[in-house]
A and B are shown apart, each in its own frame.
Chain A
Amino acid sequence: DTEVTQTPKHLVMGMTNKKSLKCEQHMGHRAMYWYKQKAKKPPELMFVYSYEKLSINESVPSRFSPECPNSSLLNLHLHALQPEDSALYLCASSQGLTTDTQYFGPGTRLTVL
């Protein structure tokens, strides 16, 4: 089973709202990733967790706050977002940081009003 699940599928929020995106995998993978994908563009890496510790932060604004509560779960907390943050947010996982095959979830389509 190579499934990564993400909830919610769609999210609409105002600029003053606080919301969270959730990602889950049960493949025993120890690396998990958040990507942002704008329309007609490839995904852009935001954060990488390895063994539940933040390994990479690609200079993402602090209004995005990742959290990895356990080895199967990855959250992305959102606060005071801007309309330009509207995008498809993809979660991925891999066996480890040096194991390069990443498996992606279906994404959360976020719209910021």
Chain B
Amino acid sequence: AQSVTQLDSHVSVSEGTPVLLRCNYSSSYSPSLFWYVQHPNKGLQLLLKYTSAATLVKGINGFEAEFKKSETSFHLTKPSAHMSDAAEYFCVVSDNPTGRRALTFGSGTRLQVQP
């Protein structure tokens, strides 16, 4: 069975400082991994996706994530936070246990950006 653990429910950073949102996963198969962002009262926007190609994945808005199989981690980073990055971030794993892909969501990390 697949599972996702987002290690921090809430992260607060100052504008212009680095962002690190942590995610560990468990999967019995070769998973795909995603980060989605959700701004208040909005839908989910895909930030980036890992599918067994390059382990360092670049996404939109300056975000990137590194897949580390040995650590079963897929942490999201950004060098410099912007006020508009304040949102809820979900780490998602997808594997293929029955011939169809099923998404498992982490519990979410709320990113707060202080001016």
Question: Contact residues of A with B, CB < 8 Å?
Answer: 2, 4, 6, 40-43, 45, 55, 88, 90, 92, 94, 97-107, 109
B96 within 8 A of A: yes
Q: B48-59, CB under 8 A of A: which get 1 and which 0?
A: 010000000000
Given contacts A104-B36, A105-B43, A109-B41, contact A42 B94 (CB under 8 A): no
Q: Which residues of A contact B103 (CB under 8 A)?
A: 45, 100, 102
Q: How far is the CA of A43 from the CA of B90 in the complex (A)?
A: 10
Q: How many residues of B contact A (CB 8 A)?
A: 21
Q: How far is the CA of A99 from the CA of B43 in the complex (A)?
A: 20
Q: Which residues of A contact B46 (CB under 8 A)?
A: 2, 101, 103-104
Q: How far is the CA of A41 from the CA of B106 in the complex (A)?
A: 9
Q: How far is the CA of A100 from the CA of B44 in the complex (A)?
A: 15
Q: Which residues of B20-56 have CB atoms within 8 Å of chain A's CB atoms?
A: 32, 34, 36, 41-46, 49
Q: How far is the CA of A55 from the CA of B99 in the complex (A)?
A: 13
CB distance from B91 to the nearest CB of A (A): 10
Contact of A42 among B41, B43, B101, B105 (CB under 8 A): B105
